[in-house]
Amino acid sequence: MQCVALTGGLGAGKSTAARMFQTLGAHVLSSDEMGRAMMQPGQPVYAAIVQHFGPDVVLPSGELNRTALAKLAFADGRVEELNAIVHPAVIARQHELVEEIATSNPKSVVIIESALIFETKHTGDDSRDRFDKIILVTAPEELRIARFVSRASKGEVLTDIQRETLEAEARRRLDQQISDEKKASLSDYVLTNNGPEVELEWQIDQLWPILVAQV
């Protein structure tokens, strides 16, 4: 079995790449999806977040106020406090799922999609110990910011102030991530996502047989 990390900064397109790999037959584990599930009411991670950050991060419905939590994490500089709660639980669950897949299908390629393969301090080991290969998805910074704004606006027309606020938020998050140049030096493969999706898909189609051959 091959356990492969798929990473990329905000707006790089790693989720799009993950979907393409899944279409080709990869088992994809999304760190974001796991984290969101663990942050639902009734989950231990949810309880730990509320205990640590207080009732202001809880909506009247009982769900987490993600806007308030994101402000605390990114604008107020407390992202590592949040990561210290969420990341160990997500990584532990990934270990469990990878072992299950290895047992049931030892010839598979498992891709763990995560924005913070290199940045997180809560793995308990080195990224090289966790993964057989690391794939980085890159894109120019301004394009990544534009993608973030488009995703955050959800199709609504933004005022200039709203757009500037979202752009500033994107830059704030990018500043907390390692540069693509540094990540590329630590990765085995680099995919460039600065054009139409078909160009990214072509690169993945070329890489997939190489990953399969290494199983």
Q: Phi-psi category of 143—alpha, beta or left, where left has phi over 0 and alpha has psi -120 to 50?
A: alpha
Domains detected in the chain: 2-213 (3.40.50.300)
**Residue of 148, 126, 184, 155 lying closest to 8 (CA atoms):** 184
- Tens digits of per-residue pLDDT, 140-185? 999 999 999 998 888 888 999 999 999 998 898 888 788 899 999 9
**Residue 101 above 80 pLDDT?**
yes
* Higher-confidence position of 130 and 125: 130
Cα dist. 83→20, 49, 156 in Å?
28, 10, 30
Q: How many Cβ atoms from other residues are within 10 Å of residue 43's Cβ?
A: 13
Whole-structure pTM value: 0.88
Q: Is the pLDDT of residue 122 over 70?
A: no
Query: Across the chain, what does the average pLDDT equal?
Result: 92
Measured torsion, CA atoms of residues 26, 37, 113, 154, in degrees rounded to the nearest 10: 110
Residue 19 has pLDDT above 90, yes or no: yes
**In this prediction, what percent of the chain has a pLDDT beyond 70?**
96
Give the tens place of pLDDT for each residue, 47-67: 999 999 999 999 999 999 998
Reported as a pLDDT band with limits 50, 70 and 90, residue 187 is: very high
